[in-house]
Amino acid sequence: MGAVGREEREGKAAPKETPEIAAVADAYRQASQRPVTSKTVTGLKRDAAVLLAAGLPVEWIAARAAEMPARGWVNLQQHVERSTEPLPGQRTGSQTPEERRGLPPWCGQCGDFGLNQAARVSSKWRTLGESGSGERCPRCHPDLVAAA
């Protein structure tokens, strides 16, 4: 059986090509400045289809795809999840790092007793005790604040 048949059987076939999906793949190709494997293109198209279906703007997704080759990255969904680049129309400027990541404001008392600045931008460190090993901070850990 050919490569296409094997990919379809494993659920890894590229989604139906649309102009939006093609624009995202083209942005990656242009930024790459070297040949891109068909496996990479297929993965980009699959990721682009998921992100477009989630309602993200094609221009924003394409811009994220163009950032990836310089870093050697090929997982568009993962890059978009970690991106701090604001969406069009999203408030910026006065936003704190916590707000940009969707976190409640950091209390400044957790995360190695306020010494670990990583707690400002990552809920992983918003714990009581040392090195993120204690219980979740009741003042600012997003899981506990949301439940309250």
Give pLDDT tens digits for 28-75: 999 998 999 999 999 999 999 999 998 899 999 999 999 999 999 999
- Does the pLDDT of residue 26 top 90, yes or no? yes
What mean pLDDT comes out for the span 111-137?
A: 72
Closest CA to 138 of 107, 96, 115: 107
Q: What predicted TM-score, i.e. pTM, was given to this entire model?
A: 0.56
Look up residue 109 and give its amino acid. Answer: Q
Give pLDDT tens digits for 101-122: 667 887 888 877 666 667 777 7
17 SS3 class = coil
